[in-house]
Every structure is written in C-alpha cells, then in structure tokens.
Amino acid sequence: MKRAIFRNQLLPWLLLAPQLAVTFVFFLWPAAQAGWQSFLREDAFGLKSTFIGFENYSRLFGDPHYLNSVMVTVVFSVSVAVLAMAVALTLALAADRMIKSAQTYTTLLVWPYAVAPAIAGLLWWFIFNPTIGLVPYALDMVGIDWNHSLNGTQSMILVIIAAAWKQISYNFLFFVAGLQAIPASMREAAAIDGAGPGRRLFSITLPLLAPTSFFLLVVNTVYALFDTFPVIDATTEGGPAQATNILVYKVYVDGFLGLNLGSSAAQSVVLMAVVIVLTVVQFRFIERRVEY
C-alpha cells in the first residue's frame, strides 16, 4: 500500500484532537479514577481515604455473594443471548420466505427495539406482577403458582424474557440482512440436487450465516452483561435473595446505594477486564470473518 506523506506535523493531531479529548475525558480519565479508587478504602463523603492495596479485590473474590453474582451473570447472559438469537433466527427465516408481506412483517418486528429498556422492564413487571399481572392469573388457572418476588427461578425467567425480548428485533434485522446476502442460486442448486428444506437449512443457510451469528453472539453477550441494568432495576432489583443480582447491578447497589466506593470500583475494574477480553475476541475473530 502506498503511504501518504503529510508535511504538516500539527494538522493530523489537530484533526484528531476532538476525538482524543472525548476519549480521554469520557473514558480514560474515569477508568483511571475507578482503577485508583479500587485500591482505596474511603468513606462516602471522601473525607478520609486509606490505601489498602488489593484488599478490595481479595475481599471480592472471597465473598460468596460476589461469586454467586458471577454465576447468576453467566446463566443470565447465556440464556438471554441464546433465547434472543434463537427466536430472532426463527422469525428471520420465516420473514425470508415471505414474498408479499415481508416488508410489513419486518417493520413490525423492529418496533420493540425503539422501546426504552426501563419501559420494557416495567411492561414485563406489570405483565408478571404476582398481585395484578395477567400471566400469574393465567398460570394460576393451570395450577402454577407464580410469585417471582419469592421464587428465584421464576425471577430469573422473568428477567431473561424481559431482556431478550428487546434484543430480538436487533438480531432479527441482522439475520434478515444475512439471509438476503445468501445467493438464492445456491439454495436452488441444492434443491435441484434433491436436498429438502431441512437439509438446505442446515447445510447451506446456517453455515453461510455463521459470521452474522458469531457477531451477534458477542453483541448479545455484551448487551446481556452491560445494557440490561434498566431491565433488572425495573423488574426484580436483583432479588429475591440476590437470585438476579448480575454484576452490573451489583456495582450499582454496592456503590450507589451502599456507598461502598472501593468495592464498587474494584468490581468495575473486573468488568472492564471482561469488556476488554470480549473486544479482543471480537476484533480477532469476527472482524476477519464477517462479510457484510
């Protein structure tokens, strides 16, 4: 590749400056602060602070409730990603087969994406409310006692549905685009060779969709890990008995409600490490393999 040579040393920096400033002010600076704070024990008002080294971290990893939160997060993220992708893929395959109403269908399916997560959470909270909700009423008729304010499993099911519902639209869009990028001639050729619809799906469509799926897997995992805070906050608030207390929510509870800033900062740093790993994975594998 030919290398462009700029005489002016200052201009590129000037052009980069706004971007760099934003990165520094909104990312590097707060991240550094969190890093520093995670080594301190501090009272809420910041009047007294003591350097305590890695004590916040060692305390964290010795805390069964933190480890529980890690487990909860894994179960939650995997379930949300799998559910959101499976449903979206099914819908996308259905939409892809439609000829006349595909446009309308697609538009309708994208709507939920425009709903703010907090509103989505609240909607599901109403639908599943043990006292006034519709679903518990219906479940009661078939003999299931729905009470997610006490039953941890039901509570988890609720937040998974609420969190996945929102993400389905997003996944759907990508899957539809991915499906449309698969040349019809390949499927037709397979059909002529005698492959049935199932065979065509598993041998042609899904493998060709793999880059999209892999991309969505990472995006959905990141979404489930970090963007589901409003859903949790509006539905279960991490309860009952920490059954839905995912890592991001725990950072908020310990830092903003409990005012335990050192521990909260240490938890943020751990989360930051997770994001970095996920980003590396994304760049290493996906950027190479996804063909838009």
Q: Is 62 in the site for other proteins (CB under 8 A)?
A: no
When binding is defined by CB under 8 A, the residue of 43, 140, 145, 188 that contacts other proteins is 43
- Binding piece for other proteins, criterion CB under 8 A, among 73-81, 200-208, 254-262, 283-291: 254-262
Q: Is 132 in the site for other proteins (CB under 8 A)?
A: yes
Per-residue binder mask for other proteins (CB under 8 A), 73-92, x = binder = --------------------
Nearer to other proteins, 202 or 256 (CB): 256
Query: Under rule CB under 8 A, how many of the chain's residues touch other proteins?
Result: 29
Q: Is 61 in the site for other proteins (CB under 8 A)?
A: no
Tokens of 46: 């910041």
**Residues in Cβ contact with 271 at an 8 Å cutoff, skipping those fewer than 6 apart:** 225, 226, 247, 248, 251
When binding is defined by CB under 8 A, the residue of 35, 127, 149, 227 that contacts other proteins is 149
Nearer to other proteins, 224 or 265 (CB): 265
Closest approach of other proteins to the CB of residue 149, in Å: 5
Within 91-130, the residues that bind other proteins by CB under 8 A are 129-130
Rg of the chain in Å (alpha carbons)? 24
Closest approach of other proteins to the CB of residue 64, in Å: 10
Q: Is 259 in the site for other proteins (CB under 8 A)?
A: yes
**Residues in Cβ contact with 229 at an 8 Å cutoff, skipping those fewer than 6 apart:** 117, 248, 249, 252
Tokens of 65: 């409730």
Closest approach of other proteins to the CB of residue 154, in Å: 11
Nearer to other proteins, 62 or 194 (CB): 62
Q: Is 145 in the site for other proteins (CB under 8 A)?
A: no
When binding is defined by CB under 8 A, the residue of 5, 10, 47, 141 that contacts other proteins is 47
Q: Is 17 in the site for other proteins (CB under 8 A)?
A: no
Nearer to other proteins, 34 or 253 (CB): 253
When binding is defined by CB under 8 A, the residue of 10, 14, 44, 114 that contacts other proteins is 44
Within 186-245, the residues that bind other proteins by CB under 8 A are 237, 239-242
Q: Is 48 in the site for other proteins (CB under 8 A)?
A: yes
First to last CA, the chain: 23
Tokens of 224: 């489930």
When binding is defined by CB under 8 A, the residue of 11, 32, 150, 177 that contacts other proteins is 150
Per CB under 8 A, residues contacting other proteins are: 41-48, 50, 129-132, 149-152, 237, 239-242, 253-254, 256-260
